[in-house]
């Protein structure tokens, strides 16, 4: 399966990239992780007639601002948007006039699926979701596609949920909004050392750092420095950038 990074910034788009959006191209389906501004590139990558799922971590704008271009797409098989309990009302508040076209006016059907914490078997793959630690509710996801385990945890501080979700994963995509050594209690995020520590403790095969704060990581050199710091703790780390594709 392929992991396509379409947006790797946190907070806002800048020269370093668009805000968070990642496509998992699996045998059975397409899974989009968050709807940041990078989502506009998705048409280049969605070529087969497979079902499409969009899993939202939370509703901070850098993760949903791409929803206003859903009318650019023509998803023949429809779109299933998954989010935490209560997310339907939030989505229906934002995705409507006068902000943008409501879901009902799109050329394809959109279904909203609110997920409880825990395990879900109603998809063509297995999903586990857990609440992370952030300034608002935020879900982390663990997917099992056959034998491959992919974990996506953005916008979180160090917590047990991310450790649980990433245990023995083939790939952990963890956020790296903060700079080396930096901490934030009021608005929890991870720094490179913490992400690497989690990868090590969870025994993951590979760690991809993503969601780099647009101000803190205003150059790609700063991302490379984060990679260096993380590598001192966990060897198998890669820094994501827009356009990067990983084969898992
Ligand atoms: Zn964010
Ligand atoms: Zn956030």
Q: Hey, where are the domains in the chain?
A: 2-241
Phi and psi based region of residue 19 (left: phi greater than 0; alpha: psi -120 to 50; beta: remaining): beta
Do the bridges between strand 30-33 and strand 21-25 make them parallel or antiparallel, or are there none, so unpaired?
antiparallel
* pLDDT (0 to 100) of residue 49: 92
What superfamily would CATH give domain 2-241? Ribonuclease Z/Hydroxyacylglutathione hydrolase-like (3.60.15.10)
Which ligand is located closest to the Cα atom of residue 139? Answer: 2
**Residues around the ion ligand 2 (C-beta < 5 A):** 60, 155
User: For residue 187, how far is its CA from the centre of ligand 2 (angstroms)?
Assistant: 8
pTM of the model: 0.98
| Spatial distance between the Cα atoms of 198 and 143, rounded to a whole number of angstroms | 18
User: For residue 135, how far is its CA from the centre of ligand 2 (angstroms)?
Assistant: 7
User: For residue 10, how far is its CA from the centre of ligand 2 (angstroms)?
Assistant: 8
Q: Quick check: bond before 98 cis, omega within 30?
A: yes
Find, among 68, 59, 73, 91, the residue nearest to 23 by Cα.
Answer: 73
Which ligand is located closest to the Cα atom of residue 157? Answer: 2
pLDDT tens track for 84-112: 999 999 999 999 999 999 999 999 999 99
Find, among 65, 60, 68, the residue nearest to 98 by Cα.
Answer: 68
- State the Cα angle at 60 between 58 and 65, rounded to 5°: 105
CB 184 within 8 A of CB 178: yes
- pLDDT bin (cut points 50, 70, 90) of residue 185 is confident
| Spatial distance between the Cα atoms of 24 and 28, rounded to a whole number of angstroms | 11
User: For residue 203, how far is its CA from the centre of ligand 2 (angstroms)?
Assistant: 26
User: For residue 49, how far is its CA from the centre of ligand 1 (angstroms)?
Assistant: 30
CB 110 within 8 A of CB 81: yes
* pLDDT (0 to 100) of residue 70: 97
Phi and psi based region of residue 142 (left: phi greater than 0; alpha: psi -120 to 50; beta: remaining): beta
* pLDDT (0 to 100) of residue 73: 95
User: For residue 36, how far is its CA from the centre of ligand 1 (angstroms)?
Assistant: 9
Arithmetic mean of pLDDT, 57-82: 96
Do the bridges between strand 148-153 and strand 171-175 make them parallel or antiparallel, or are there none, so unpaired?
parallel
| Spatial distance between the Cα atoms of 239 and 228, rounded to a whole number of angstroms | 10
Which ligand is located closest to the Cα atom of residue 156? Answer: 2
- pLDDT bin (cut points 50, 70, 90) of residue 228 is very high
Look up residue 134 and give its two tokens. 């952030």
CB 169 within 8 A of CB 134: no
- pLDDT bin (cut points 50, 70, 90) of residue 176 is very high
* pLDDT (0 to 100) of residue 131: 98
Per-residue burial over 110-133, b = 16 or more CB atoms within 10 Å of its CB, e = otherwise:
bebbebeeeeeeebebebbbbebb
Find, among 45, 226, 24, 224, the residue nearest to 127 by Cα.
Answer: 24
């Amino acid at each position: 399966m392929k992991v396509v990074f379409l947006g790797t910034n946190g907070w806002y788009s800048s020269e370093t990239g668009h805000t968070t959006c990642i496509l998992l191209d699996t045998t059975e389906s397409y899974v989009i992780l968050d709807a940041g501004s990078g989502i506009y590139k998705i048409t280049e990558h969605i070529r087969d007639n497979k079902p499409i799922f969009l899993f939202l971590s939370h509703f901070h704008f850098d993760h949903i601002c791409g929803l206003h271009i859903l009318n650019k797409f023509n998803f023949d098989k429809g779109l299933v948007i998954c989010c935490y309990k209560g997310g339907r009302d939030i989505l229906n508040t934002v995705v409507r006039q006068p902000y943008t076209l409501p879901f009902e006016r799109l050329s394809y059907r959109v279904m909203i699926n609110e997920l409880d914490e825990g395990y879900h078997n109603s998809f063509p793959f297995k999903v586990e979701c857990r609440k992370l630690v952030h300034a608002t509710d935020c879900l982390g996801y663990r997917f099992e596609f056959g034998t491959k385990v992919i974990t996506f945890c953005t916008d979180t501080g160090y917590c047990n949920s991310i450790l649980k979700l990433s245990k023995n994963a083939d790939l952990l995509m963890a956020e790296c909004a903060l700079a080396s050594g930096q901490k934030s209690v009021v608005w929890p995020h991870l720094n490179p050392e913490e992400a690497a520590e989690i990868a090590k403790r969870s025994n993951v095969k590979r760690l991809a750092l993503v969601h780099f704060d647009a101000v803190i990581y205003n150059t790609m050199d700063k991302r490379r420095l984060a990679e260096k710091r993380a590598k001192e703790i966990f060897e198998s780390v890669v820094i994501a950038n827009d356009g990067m594709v990983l084969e898992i």
